[in-house]
Structure 1
Amino acid sequence: MPFTVSTPTSAAAWRPDEYTFAATDVIPDAVLLNCTTNAGNVEGDAVSVRVACVDDALATITAEGSTIDEAQPELSEALVHTSKVTQLVRLSREQYQQPSTPEQLAQSVSRAVTRRANLAFLTEPTPTAPAVAPVAGLLNTVGIVDGGTVTDSLDVLIDLVATLQTNLATPSSLVLGPRGWAALRKLKSAATYNTSLLGSGTEDAQALVLSLPVIVTNAITDHSGLVIDKTAIVSAVGPVVISTSMDRYFDSDSVGVSCRFRSGFAVPRPDRIGVFSVGVPQGS
């Protein structure tokens, strides 16, 4: 009888049970990865990333030959606390060995981890002291600028962006839910017109509003929106780690597959992040 070497019958050294992938490769659509500045990574709930921050001191004009005044920049730090997104899947050995199972399972895990990471970044409730993680999502972050409600025009959004820029922000993107984005696209160019203020949308190469790219995610509250300056948010992002075990469910001849992803963020300059709501146009 011919003998075939296979991973289920090989020693553990010949079938690694843990694989590590860069988060940008496995969950590239996670909002956290696209809307923050990555400052490093840590492992463990009790540790944090300490990020040095400095508030720019004023520069002055000095006459020739005069003494230059000493600047006094304010040095501070932001603490980035992290939390772990996990998923554990149990499969029968026979199902696990089906040709299409690994690919389908990988896609499912990627979607699940992306979804939970997005919820944590955008809408996570504020932790109850003494807990510090998971940190409050952006919509629950104290100090961000509330621009009000967009109703019949983009004036509220234009004013909000201007306010953030006055606070030295450089807005990099808008984040909206599907319903909020739909409400924006329904805004008409005039009360008696049927033309959309943002164009027909039939040939969009990229979703843009006020020249800012729009990220649409169902992880944000309906009709809520954020104006984000990614340099005002620092994050700690770890790799996505996939582990398999042929032993945990030995008594049922099953395979365990787990995924874990650790991340966190802090907003040292909340006045450079804006929040707004999008009113539902009449007739929608």
Structure 2
Amino acid sequence: MPLSRSTLSAGWLPDEHFGQLLIAAVVEQSAATSVGKPIKTGAERMYFPRLTSEAPADFVAEGADLPLGDPGLDDVAVIPAKVAGLTIVTSEAVEDASPEVSKVIGDSLVRAISAKIDQAFVGDLPAPAPKGIASLTNVTDVTGSTPDNLADLDVIADAIAAVQDEGGTPSHVLVSPGVAKHLAKLKTGTGSNQPLLGVDATKPTVRTAYGLPLVTVRALTDSALYVVDGSRIAVVLRQTASVEISRDRYFESDRVAVRARARVGFGFLHPETVAKVGVALA
């Protein structure tokens, strides 16, 4: 059922502004782009060179041969996949609304695309969706088959150390809404009302664990959280992200099609710097 004047409660943004609105809002709203490095490209795919092992080096005696060898080199290919949505609007809603009314439609499309990006980012969705964290086979599993009940933050400290042991710099803690709520209720001690999580003074709504911001991802379940090095995660966005308007397909019913689309892919350049913590909330 198309949107019409009677159901469209906000404005219609001029279509020449819509492409910029979409790409900016997706980058702002997506947890994936707040954690990883957003990279915009017009290419079909991107390759990220990766060093898998160091060149040899050792102490040598005077005149002795130097250690000879090459570093291990390969690359990670990222092919952005299309994520899109379609909304049908009556011509009357388009023509009679003020120039600012389409924010309702634009926001809805942006939220839907952002949610799908995050679902793919932390998940293991079937093709054509890009593969995410849950698809990685060589993450650092901190808890193994014994999930933690998160009575304190010790296991997060273990995950931070695990990322550092792999040469990474921990940057974010990814949690589900349920885990975020559980951690927010932890206190510094018995009988205390002081929360165990820290607060970023520059962003009062952001909770921190050992100085790392907690990023709530709705697509995550309560069974795991992750500590990651965001500098080693590439989020590749095609520059063709846009919202487009067409009157052709629904010409006979005098309706307008509004299509939003983006293309996104993920490159996990050092999967071992993703530390997984199994969780068992009481």
Match for residue 5 of structure 2? none
Instruction: Tell me if 1:21 matches 2:24.
Output: no
- Give the equivalent residue in structure 2 for 1:241: 242
* Structure 1 position 50, deviation (Å): 2.4
TM-score of the two chains, using structure 1 as the length reference: 0.78
Out of 205-214 and 110-119, give the one that drifted further: 205-214
1:269: how far off? 1.9
How much does 1:121 deviate?
Answer: 0.9
Question: In 1, Cα distance between the equivalents of 2:45 and 2:149?
Answer: 38
- Tell me if 1:142 matches 2:141: no
Instruction: Show CA shifts across 1:175-210 (max 9, x none).
Output: 112211111112232345444322699993532111
Residues 150 and 270 from structure 1, CA distance in 2 versus in 1: closer, same or farther, beyond 3 angstroms? farther
Q: Is contact 2:199–2:207 with CA below 8 Å preserved after alignment?
A: no
Relative distance call for 1:275 and 1:42 in structure 2 (3 A) is farther
Q: Distance in 1 between matches of 2:81 and 2:162?
A: 32
Question: Residue 268 of structure 1 corresponds to which residue in structure 2?
Answer: 269
Q: Which runs of 5+ in 2 are unaligned?
A: 1-13
CA distance in 2, matches of 1:182, 1:174: 14
- Cα pair distance change 1:280/1:192, threshold 3 Å: farther
Cross-structure match for 2:10: none
Distance 1:49 1:191 in 2: 52
CA distance in 1, matches of 2:103, 2:245: 14
- Are residues 75 and 171 of structure 1, via their aligned partners in 2, closer, same or farther at CA, if it must alter by over 3 Å? same
CA pair 153-268 structure 1, distance change in 2 beyond 3 A: same
The residue aligned with 2:212 is 212
Per the TM alignment, residue 56 of structure 1 is displaced from its structure 2 partner at its CA by 5.1
| Contact 2:56–2:71 (8 Å) recurs in 1 | no
CA drift of 1:71 comes to: 5.1
Whole-angstrom CA distance in 2 between matches of 1:201 and 1:180:
19
Give the AA of the match of 2:30.
A
Partner secondary structure for residue 101 of structure 1 = coil
Q: Is the 8 A contact 2:15 2:243 kept in 1?
A: no
Deviation of 1:94 (Å): 0.9
Residue 96 of structure 1: aligned partner: 94
Cα deviation, 1:141-166, whole Å, max 9, x if unaligned, reads 21112223242111111111101110
Residue 223 and residue 124 in structure 1: after superposition, are their counterparts in 2 closer, same or farther (change >3 A)? same
Provide the C-alpha distance between the structure 1 equivalents of 2:200 and 2:72, rounded to a whole number of angstroms: 46
d(CA) in 2 for partners of 1:205, 1:215: 11
How big is the alpha-carbon RMSD for the aligned residues of Structure 1 and Structure 2? 3.1
- 1:49 equivalenced with 2:50 (yes/no): no
Query: Taking structure 1 as reference, are residues 238 and 113 closer, same or farther at Cα in structure 2, changes over 3 Å only?
Result: same
- In the alignment of these two chains, the number of paired residues is 259
Query: Partner of 1:222: helix, strand, or coil?
Result: coil
After superposition, residues 59-208 of structure 1 pair within 5 angstroms as 60=57, 69-70=67-68, 72-97=70-95, 98-99=97-98, 100-125=100-125, 127=126, 133-148=128-143, 149-198=148-197, 204=204, 206-208=206-208
Cα distance in structure 2, aligned partners of 1:199 and 1:143: 30
Q: What's the offset of the Cα at 1:61? A: 6.7
Amino acid at match of 1:252: S
Shift of 1:234: 2.7
CA distance in 2, matches of 1:42, 1:68: 45
Using the size of structure 2 for normalisation, the TM-score is 0.79
1:274/1:116 CA distance change after superposition, 3 Å: same
CA contact (8 A) 1:223 1:277 kept: yes
Q: Relative to structure 1, is the Cα distance of residues 152 and 109 closer, same or farther in structure 2, using a 3 angstrom cutoff?
A: same
Residue type of the alignment partner of 1:52: P
Q: Tell me which amino acid in the other structure corresponds to 1:57.
A: E
